[in-house]
Amino acid sequence: MSIETTNISARTHPTVAQAMYQCVAETTVTTMMAQNFHWNVTGMAFGPLHALFQDIYEDHFQAQDELAERIRSIGHTVDGRLTAMIDISKVVEDPEGFRKNDKEMITALAEAQKTLAATLAGASDIAAANGDKLTEDLCVERGRAHEKFAWLLESHVS
Ligand SMILES: [Fe+2]
């Protein structure tokens, strides 16, 4: 008996690629936010926060590559310019970000994680609506990772 298979087209709808690009952009902006905080954090919790911010930017650096290469795998190009990504990202760079205190850094980065989780959940819905189960799966996995980072961050200040 053969199993039922889902028909996966070689080139997925551009809407899926656009949603994925939104995810790449916000992941990229948040990567730099975490590294900025890693460099500038001070206070009694310097050690664990310096390490947690590093865990986050390393995770995000890997993830932006995975998301961008998924866009390529489904037949679309990726605009890797930082200005293009900053323009569409719902995670916004704060000009004073590097001057924040430790608690303000945690709050800002937790907010970014929640924004990313929401963007990825939305992208998973768009992938599902277009029959792209494999992109949907990547978005769900990444959304969960961001919710976990939000919890790890917020546990420092609750
Ligand atoms: Fe470092």
Q: Could you tell me if residue 121 is inside a domain?
A: yes
**Which pLDDT value is given to residue 122?**
98
Q: Could you tell me if residue 2 is inside a domain?
A: no
pLDDT in tens, the chain (158 residues): 666 655 555 567 899 999 999 999 999 999 999 999 999 999 999 999 999 999 999 999 999 999 999 999 999 999 999 999 999 999 999 999 999 999 999 999 999 999 999 999 999 999 999 999 999 999 999 999 999 999 999 999 87
**Which pLDDT value is given to residue 63?**
98
Q: Could you tell me if residue 118 is inside a domain?
A: yes
**Which pLDDT value is given to residue 22?**
98
CA of 54 to the centre of ligand 1 (A): 7
Q: Could you tell me if residue 86 is inside a domain?
A: yes
CA of 36 to the centre of ligand 1 (A): 10
Which structural domain range is residue 59 located in?
14-154
Among candidates 143, 106, 110, which has minimal Cα distance to 127?
143
Q: What is the pTM of this model?
A: 0.93
CA distances for 41 relative to 22, 51, 91, 149, angstroms:
28, 11, 20, 17
Q: Could you tell me if residue 8 is inside a domain?
A: no
Q: Could you tell me if residue 133 is inside a domain?
A: yes
CA of 58 to the centre of ligand 1 (A): 10
Q: Could you tell me if residue 6 is inside a domain?
A: no
Among candidates 64, 63, 65, 70, which has minimal Cα distance to 135?
70
To which H or E segment does residue 61 belong?
A: helix 46-73
CA of 53 to the centre of ligand 1 (A): 9
Q: Could you tell me if residue 9 is inside a domain?
A: no
56-84 as b/e, with b when 16 or more CB fall inside 10 Å? bbebbeebbeebbebbeebebebeeeeee
Q: What is the CATH classification number for the domain harbouring 132?
A: 1.20.1260.10
CA of 35 to the centre of ligand 1 (A): 8
To which H or E segment does residue 26 belong?
A: helix 14-40
Number of folded domains that form the chain? 1
Among candidates 9, 26, 34, 12, which has minimal Cα distance to 67?
26
**Which pLDDT value is given to residue 158?**
77
